[in-house]
Structure 1
């Protein structure tokens, strides 16, 4: 039986729970969905889960990447591509394939990949955000501050700055940094499930209670109407055609500020699934043009804690 929809996830890596969720939907709905994934490392955990549906690709900076992705889409009749890491969004946004990218347009891809451009985009739309500076433009604003790479991800090379000595050091240590006011938190990540026609299918707020390696290891589902209102503004301005993850923190005055936009599904989205959002069904139905039949009830207060799990295989 030919599947109604073939989806390609790029850089599946460690996203076992997400891939398993989509495979479970495909298994429960024969002929509805086929799931493929790309990976540079055939020994990655999610590649083991996909088996023959895991397709090897070069790194995004490799000149052959465009051709390989285009061939995969053509040979497998891929209907839609879902990027799972930030570099893929920027590269695939300018790659010609037979399948659309479920993300943002190329200009927006450049914006969300650059935290300084993201800051300017938010300011231009009067969306509250953390006050930010380039190091060369930093005024005497006092400490502590926060510094991170303009084009980084996963919390890598992100540091609190407590003094001029630290500011001078990290300005040269971090590659092309941006400086921000330090927000007290807590930090909220919002999973926005956006469909093929830029429609919001579901939205879940997750408070990040603990982070390991830049990815949430403990979290809880929360609900704040003020956060939702700001996220709606982001989506209205961005007009994505795929899931988006919006991050932000509370300031000292308890107001919420948007700090980052990732035009892809976040690593903590399994908590949204567990809280009642059938992500695979919502996206499959949207890309197949089916009408939505019911609203999603969110289990506010649900907590998540993560642990390592082993997969066993013979290469």
Structure 2
């Protein structure tokens, strides 16, 4: 199949690897249109053409994307950032009229996935076991929830429902005597007294999430589904929980995969997306969040021999796909390389 694909947000650390990987397809002849908010992402050199665009939540973003799609005759847009996926999902029908398909789920689903509280409420409705969690609004409610969870587990985590990448996350444990930043992440760890004195009054007035502290490492579950049917469920364990681009080990984790399967089947998902997991202290998989688009480290699974993107294109083109054997215990790691044009 000959196809022009727009890849958004190509400034990610593994974007160059991802674009090289999908262009190496033996089944599809891809022409890649890369877009990013910056002029100089390294991945632009592996695209057939490149355009700078506004941020995905900017008022002018969609008009710019629509213009590029017309100019480049784009068949398919593969969004790689949350804001872009949300904006593009809201305009799916308009783009489809002009011949461009957006490779993400519909807006109603994405709006659930981009809020941790609505995600957990939906997972609870599906009967998926969850860690201890509570919704709180205001200082009194928040402090009560924190104390209740700490009484049960000894620690508590306060999260902003729509924040990403650990932004605004506060881990509260009385084993600490000072506030620390956790292993290069955006989390702050502190004791209850520090939380009450320095952070409680700074929390937003809208509902927030309080939950038990989960156990590392973080796992990513890559899912390719089509109208609820799962074709890939690939669990990967991060070598560094705070830095997903530092490598993964592909593992076999049936409980984790079955949660992903249930989400896909019950919500009738399509395209590629991923679920982030940790575990509870008794070793059970616990959903951290469901991403509204593919993982930024999707190229890890492709490098391990899983042709998710190829098969996604085949499903989009109504072409049959063959089962792929999944190899476990592979370590996929990054290294520095050079290329020339």
Question: Structures share a fold, TM > 0.5?
Answer: yes
Change (3 A) 1:24 1:224: same
Which consecutive aligned stretches of 4+ in structure 1 deviate over 6 angstroms post-superposition? none
Alignment of 1:297-308 (within 5 A): 297-308=325-336
CA contact (8 A) 1:148 1:179 kept: yes
Structure 2 match to 1:47: 44
Alignment of 1:24-103 (within 5 A): 24-25=24-25, 28=26, 32-50=29-47, 52-95=48-91, 96-98=94-96, 99-103=100-104
Q: Which runs of 5+ in 2 are unaligned?
A: 174-190
C-alpha separation in 1, matches of 2:72 and 2:201: 46
- Equivalent pairs counted in the alignment come to 304
CA contact (8 A) 1:22 1:35 kept: no
CA contact (8 A) 2:34 2:51 kept: yes
Structure 2 match to 1:282: 311
Structure 2 match to 1:17: 17
CA contact (8 A) 1:193 1:244 kept: yes
C-alpha separation in 2, matches of 1:186 and 1:280: 26
The TM-score with structure 2 as length reference comes to 0.81
The TM-score with structure 1 as length reference comes to 0.87
C-alpha separation in 1, matches of 2:202 and 2:298: 32
C-alpha separation in 1, matches of 2:211 and 2:167: 16
How many angstroms does 1:174 deviate by?
Answer: 6.1
In the TM superposition, what whole-angstrom CA distance separates every residue of 1:96-136 from its partner, at most 9, and x where no partner exists? 32322211111111111111111111112111223323343
C-alpha separation in 2, matches of 1:32 and 1:198: 27
CA contact (8 A) 2:245 2:297 kept: yes
Q: Which runs of 5+ in 1 are unaligned?
A: none
C-alpha separation in 1, matches of 2:241 and 2:42: 20
Computing the radius of gyration from Cα coordinates, the structure with the larger value is 2
Structure 2 match to 1:268: 297
How many angstroms does 1:88 deviate by?
Answer: 1.1
How many angstroms does 1:171 deviate by?
Answer: 4.2
Change (3 A) 1:312 1:5: closer
How many angstroms does 1:201 deviate by?
Answer: 2.3
Alignment of 1:1-315 (within 5 A): 4-14=2-12, 15-25=15-25, 28=26, 32-50=29-47, 52-95=48-91, 96-98=94-96, 99-136=100-137, 137-138=141-142, 139=145, 140-142=148-150, 143-162=154-173, 163-168=191-196, 169-171=198-200, 177-195=208-226, 197-212=227-242, 214-292=243-321, 294-309=322-337
Change (3 A) 1:310 1:179: farther
